[in-house]
């Protein structure tokens, strides 16, 4: 691993085993020559991308079947740190076997995720996330060359940080996935705002349409709203106005949480058979199963408990009727 990859002297534990292995033993480093491509009736594509912000650069080689647009082979040369090598190697691996159109959809998050040892632990320290962004950009450069179009035509995301080429979608997703709470966190994970800093907040040397402070505020508000919505019980008015299917789901959800576990412990169970409106009342017809079907308390204590919980959590005029 390059010395420049060390942060605070020792961060081996912050890199996945896959990354550490690919730094020293990349599988796809090298080049594809015109002669090799021609011998297999494939079209050779050679694309370059350099990140001015950190000085790293990568060259991507594709050997593409012009009849199917499938990338039969991919190799790379990387001029940069060990993480850039690992990211570029993973990027080449992800390209092989895909059509050019499919390859363009590979994102820097896909590259980073593919380098993880386990799905929930990042492959690299946040400061090195930008290396996978470079791999993402060189794919677009190769696809543009193959199709004879401008690379910007593949850009279906709004770029917030031009220095690190980080998109609005990537920033929002990283905030959500990692529960980020500050602009500094965003910068550590994506490199957005680490260089010219124009994208952090208004007042920088270059005006931007989107700023990290506003994106963070918006996403955090959305996350909080979703959290509250998920935990909140429907009001009585909401429940009354639900469709029959929605009522059934809400009732079943409460039964699963508060009633069924007790019944199952005694060898029984229950199911909702029908829901009918009778004036202001909503009648819930149930059937006891297993040991509950012959239990005397099914018409007394158990029935009262079921009805009370549904009335408390959903609507005061619910009546539970066993059949």
Q: Output the DSSP codes for 161-226.
A: ETTTTEEHHHHHHHHHHHT--SHHHHHHHH-TTSSS-TTTSTTSSS--S--HHHHHHHHHHHHHHH
* CA atoms of 163 and 235, how far apart (whole Å): 48
Report the SS3 class of residue 284: strand
Catalytic entry in 95, 131, 199, 292:
131
CB 291 within 8 A of CB 240: no
CB 123 within 8 A of CB 117: yes
Give the CA distances from residue 142 to residues 44, 76, 103, 157, in Å, rounded to whole numbers and listed in that order: 10, 12, 10, 18
Q: Output the DSSP codes for 92-114.
A: HHHHTTSBHHHHHT--HHHHHHH
Is 54 annotated as catalytic?
A: yes
Question: Under 8 Å CB-to-CB from 172, ≥6 apart: which residues?
Answer: 215, 219
State the CB neighbour count (10 A cutoff) for residue 192.
31
Report the SS3 class of residue 121: coil
Tokens of 43: 């079209």
Tokens of 9: 């002297």
Is 199 annotated as catalytic?
A: no
Report the half-sphere exposure of 201 (CA within 13 A, side-chain side): 6
CB 78 within 8 A of CB 58: yes
Known catalytic residues? 54, 131
């Amino acid at each position: 691993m390059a010395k420049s990859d060390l942060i605070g002297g020792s961060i081996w534990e912050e890199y996945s085993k896959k990354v550490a292995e690919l730094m020293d033993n990349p599988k796809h480093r090298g080049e594809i020559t015109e002669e090799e491509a021609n011998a297999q009736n494939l079209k050779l594509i050679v694309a370059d991308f350099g990140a001015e912000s950190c000085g790293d650069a990568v060259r991507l080689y594709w050997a593409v079947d012009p009849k199917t647009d499938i990338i039969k082979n991919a190799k790379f040369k990387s001029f940069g740190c060990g993480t850039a090598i690992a990211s570029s190697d993973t990027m080449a691996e992800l390209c092989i076997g895909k059509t050019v159109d499919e390859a363009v959809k590979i994102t820097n998050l896909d590259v980073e995720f593919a380098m993880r040892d386990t799905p929930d632990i990042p492959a690299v320290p946040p400061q090195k996330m930008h290396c996978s962004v470079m791999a993402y950009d060189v794919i677009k450069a190769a696809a543009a060359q193959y199709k004879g179009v401008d690379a910007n035509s593949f850009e279906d995301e709004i770029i917030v940080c031009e220095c690190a080429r980080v998109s609005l979608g990537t920033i929002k997703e990283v905030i959500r996935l990692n529960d980020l709470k500050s602009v500094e966190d965003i910068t550590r994970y994506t490199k957005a705002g680490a260089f010219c800093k124009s994208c952090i907040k208004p007042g920088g040397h270059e005006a931007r349409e989107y700023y990290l402070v506003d994106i963070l505020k918006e996403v955090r508000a959305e996350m909080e709203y979703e959290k509250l919505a998920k935990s909140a019980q429907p009001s009585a008015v909401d429940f009354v106005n639900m469709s029959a299917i929605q009522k059934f789901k809400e009732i079943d959800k409460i039964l699963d949480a508060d009633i069924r576990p007790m019944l199952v412990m005694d060898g029984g169970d229950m199911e909702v058979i029908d829901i009918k409106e009778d004036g202001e009342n909503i009648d819930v017809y149930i059937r006891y199963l297993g040991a509950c079907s012959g239990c005397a308390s099914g018409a007394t204590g158990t029935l009262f408990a079921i009805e009370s919980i549904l009335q408390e959590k959903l609507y005061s005029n619910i009546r539970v009727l066993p059949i």
